[in-house]
Amino acid sequence: MLKKLVLASSNPGKVREIRALLEPLAVEVIPQAALAIGEAEEPHDTFLENALAKARHASAASGLPALADDSGLCVASLGGEPGVHSAYYAGTAGDREARDARNNAKLLAALAGGAERSAHYTCVMVLVRRADDPEPLVAEGRWHGRIAAAPRGTGGFGYDPLFVVAAGDATAAELAPEEKNRVSHRARALARLTERLREEPR
């Protein structure tokens, strides 16, 4: 089992969630920013390709195994948008909080007029043992729900204030962190990934 890895993300929300999810495995998670590693390019049209690019970039720069995820919100009536473009759906200007607010406003505008609101979060998680790892571990998780009429809640990040969890009426931003970390797309992907890690020879 791995004891240390670099996390190929500078998103504080993702860092916080993944650290909490890996805590039971006693894996030391080092955010790439702590090693002065910049963000990788994400030019691809699939979650898998972007996650793999980020993991290989972080591993090459650090010399450590690297974990990356690419995730986003997919709305059926919008043809799967914002999808892989979720983080920059409404542009790249401003800090993460400002972008999140614009993204949520754009999504609500796109769904105005009675559009069907079913949606799911997708997370594809990739672990490479080294930058040129020919057999990366890959796992996917999905979290189904629908888009609310207005933002609710102060937790989470991204589209969480608009994402109403299928199992109830709360948005992801209204869930306690430990509850979100039990049921989210990222939790499901990481659970599958850790299962595969446990299967590997020691």
Amino acid type, 62: S
From CA 198, how far away is CA 13, in angstroms rounded? 26
Strand 28-31 relative to strand 4-7, pairing? parallel
Those residues whose C-beta lies under 8 Å from the C-beta of residue 178, and which sit 6 or more positions away, are 20
160 catalytic? Reply is no
CB neighbours (10 Å) of residue 181?
18
φ and ψ at 101, to 5 degrees?
A: -65, -45
Annotated catalytic residue within 45, 69, 70, 160: 70
β 66-75/28-31 pair status = unpaired
Cα–Cα nearest to 103, from 116, 90, 121? 90
Report, as residue numbers or ranges, the catalytic residues.
70
